[in-house]
Amino acid sequence: MLGLMQNRPLLISEILNYVERLHPEREIVSRDPDGIIHRTNYGEIAGRARRLASALKGLGLQPGDRFATLAWNTYRHFEIYYGVTGSGLVLHTVNPRLFPEQLQYIMNHAEDAYVGFDPVFTPLVESLAPHLPGVKGWIALCDREHMPKAQVANLICYEELLAAAAPDFVWPSFDENTACTLCYTSGTTGNPKGVLYSHRSTLLHGLAANAADALAFSARDSILMVVPLFHANAWSLPFSGAMAGAKLVLPGPKLDPESLWMLMETEGITKALGIPTIWLNFIAWVEANKTKEEIARLKLKLVGSGGAAVPRATIEKFRDLFGVYVLQAWGMTETSPLATTGAPLAKHEGVAQSELIEMQIKQGRQVFGIEVGLFGKDGERLPHDGASVGELKVRGNWVISGYFKGVGGQVMDAEGWFGTGDVAAIDPDGYVRLTDRLKDVIKSGGEWISSIEIENIALSHPDVFEAAVIAIPHPVWQERPLLIVHPRPGRTPTKESILDFLSTRIAKWWMPDDVVFVESLPHTATGKLLKTELRKTFGGQLAVAG
Ligand code: AMP
């Protein structure tokens, strides 16, 4: 017997209808690439999104066509999220930090029809245009006064396009499984692969992101969206934040600590979300530049961190200096991305801070709607006992079922599991502890050494700013760990002091065979340590046998 409840499609336009009616005056604040603070609200954004939808229809775009963006976190980029998806088109957010060859590949592969770009990306756009024959027009995200002199065919002014468009676009209704956004994974090897989200997956993911033990946004929150709109739908913040009617603060391209501090202070930020490197730099700057009293005046309550492991020291510093909880989240472009979050359980109430930190440095528990599982080398299920280590697999309504255009073939097994390529243990409470990427794990004498765990411990050394551990070939043990350290400014740690520090904290056979010091570590376009690059530079480092 079927239930007798209404069945309405889960569409992104419903979020816009909601905020327009219930939170029209709630602010969207953004710092434009030229540094100017711009204030608007959900009511105005909804109107402009409607105009954009009319304009795109006028340009001849048909449902399913791809509209790409090369843009920072600004209000225009935010309204494009809604104007494009609400009208049944697909928004392809492109990471401008990728290499030009990768950009050409993904934009051709996606068959982008129009591209909206921040004027600061004009040189990039000019270099890409000759290689993108399918692009019919380039829309500069600015008004007439700021139009760049870009040498591209069919250059359009965004504000003029909107001004000339009909304001009364009616959001169409369609199948909730229709595609809405497209993001390419920044694979470190091979070509990037497209992850195509649906309206249904996006709304379910947004609702889950707002659960109390996830990001728990409310109408009282002021959210600093440090995570870029071009990275995995900015972790759903444009959707989950709006579903809550929260104020959204978009920092544009300036993610340096001082600029972020300024927004935290002036915009009453309660929740800030970004990757660990951002927080690492932020804390170092705050420690050097701000007093306890100034820090105490912030309204910050929660820092969300994901995309890479959060160092213990970052969690401790936010607790001690700010009185703020760091909520670690784990996910991937392929999982929309939110899959697990590190919220405490009732049993953590009143436990010692050190015990709480042990929980916080893990990647968290699955949110409702996602299932995580652990699998051994032969595909056998491993117990969630906190000790067994294997590949982490996930399934759920916002997990990928296949890459765009079938690239990479079958990605789900018969039971619907998607292999993440991450290596982890899961404890009996369900907290996932990531130990590595399958390709980064150090295979020493038939055992696995976790690069992430050694990095995390090295980061607790007072002279270490950032650390990376890679595998280097070894004649006897097959692979051994090499620790690469970027020291804190003004500090000159020695190899011996680092190894002494590690020796009391990790097993003897996990001890790095060598430590090298560098002035900076390379990162990927999404802020992860670029270990392929490190392996190229230091792969032959080890000379010791034995
Ligand atoms: P991306 O698709 O670019 O978002 O990258 C996803 C990958 O980032 C995951 O498979 C993990 O390897 C890594 N990652 C994401 N969140 C975390 C986290 N909290 N701790 C450690 N690694 C993470």
Tell me, what CATH number does 399's domain have?
A: 3.40.50.12780
Amino acid symbol at 53: A
Q: Check whether residue 461 and residue 358 sit in a common domain.
A: no
Residue 287, domain member (yes or no): yes
Alpha-helix residue ranges (DSSP H) falling in 304-450: 312-317, 353-360
Within a domain: residue 55?
Answer: yes
Do 473 and 431 lie in a common domain? Answer: no
Please provide residue 400's backbone torsions phi and psi, each rounded to the nearest 5 degrees: -55, 145
Q: Which atom of ligand 1 is nearest to the CA of 437?
A: 12
- Are 305 and 454 part of one and the same domain? no
Residue-range definition of the domain harbouring residue 186: 12-168+175-209
Instruction: Answer yes or no: is 245 within a domain.
Output: no
List of residues 6+ apart from 51 with CB closer than 8 A:
83, 162, 163, 165, 166, 167, 169
- Residues 198 and 57 reside in one and the same domain: yes
Greatest Cα-to-Cα distance within the chain, rounded to the nearest angstrom: 75
- Distance (Å, rounded) from C-alpha 353 to C-alpha 323? 12
**Which H helix or E strand runs over 123?**
helix 122-128
**225, part of any domain:** no
* Residue 380 lies inside a defined structural domain of this protein: yes
Task: Please choose from 197, 273, 330 the residue to mutate so as to test ligand 1's pocket, defined by most ligand atoms within 8 A of CB.
Answer: 330
β-pairing, 464-474 vs 478-487, is: antiparallel
Q: Are residues 192 and 74 in the same domain?
A: yes
Instruction: Give the DSSP letter of residue 458.
Output: H
Instruction: Give the residue from 437, 462, 478 where a domain finishes.
Output: 437
448 labelled catalytic = yes
- Give the chain's end-to-end CA distance (angstroms, integer): 70
**In the listed set 396, 413, 437, which residue is the last one of a domain according to the structure?**
437
The answer to whether residue 415 sits within a structural domain is yes
Tokens representing 36? 């100017």
Phi, psi of 225 (to 5 degrees): -90, 85
Do 330 and 450 belong together in one domain?
no
What is the tally of structural domains in the chain? 3
Distance CA 543, CA 19 (A): 62
H or E segment and range at residue 485: strand 478-487
b/e map 309-334, b = 16+ CB within 10 Å: bbbbbbbbbbbeebebbbbbbbbbbb
Give the angle subtended at the CA of 386 by the CAs of 384 and 388, to the nearest 5°.
75
Could you tell me if 54 and 156 lie in one domain?
yes
Number of neighbours of residue 64 by Cβ within 10 angstroms: 10
Q: Which two tokens stand for residue 429?
A: 């409470």
Q: Which of 408, 437, 466 is the last residue of a domain?
A: 437
Distance 436 CA to ligand 1 centre (A): 10
Please report whether residue 235 resides in a domain.
no
- CB atoms near residue 171 (< 10 Å): 21
- 20 C-beta closer than 6 A to ligand 1: no
In this structure, the answer to whether residues 408 and 511 fall within a common structural domain is no
> Are 497 and 463 within 8 A, CB to CB?
yes
Shared domain check, 143 and 93: yes
User: What is the spatial distance between Cα 418 and Cα 401, in angstroms, rounded to a whole number?
Assistant: 8
Q: What is the pLDDT along the chain (546 residues), one digit of tens a residue?
A: 999 999 999 999 999 999 999 999 999 999 998 889 999 999 999 999 999 999 999 999 999 999 999 999 999 999 999 999 999 999 999 999 988 999 999 999 999 999 999 999 999 999 999 999 999 999 999 999 999 999 999 999 999 999 999 999 999 999 999 999 999 996 656 789 999 999 999 999 999 999 999 999 999 999 999 999 999 999 999 999 999 999 999 999 999 999 999 999 999 999 999 999 999 999 999 999 999 999 999 999 999 999 999 999 999 999 999 999 999 999 999 999 999 999 999 999 999 999 999 999 999 999 999 999 999 989 999 999 999 999 999 999 999 999 999 998 999 999 999 999 999 999 999 999 999 888 888 988 888 899 988 998 999 999 999 999 999 999 888 999 999 999 999 999 999 999 999 999 988 999 999 999 999 999 988 888 999 899 999 887 555 433
Q: Are residue 425 and residue 505 in the same domain, yes or no?
A: no
d(CA 159, CA 143): 5
Residue 423 placed within a domain: yes
CA of 308 to the centre of ligand 1 (A): 5
Ligand 1 centroid from CA 409, angstroms: 22
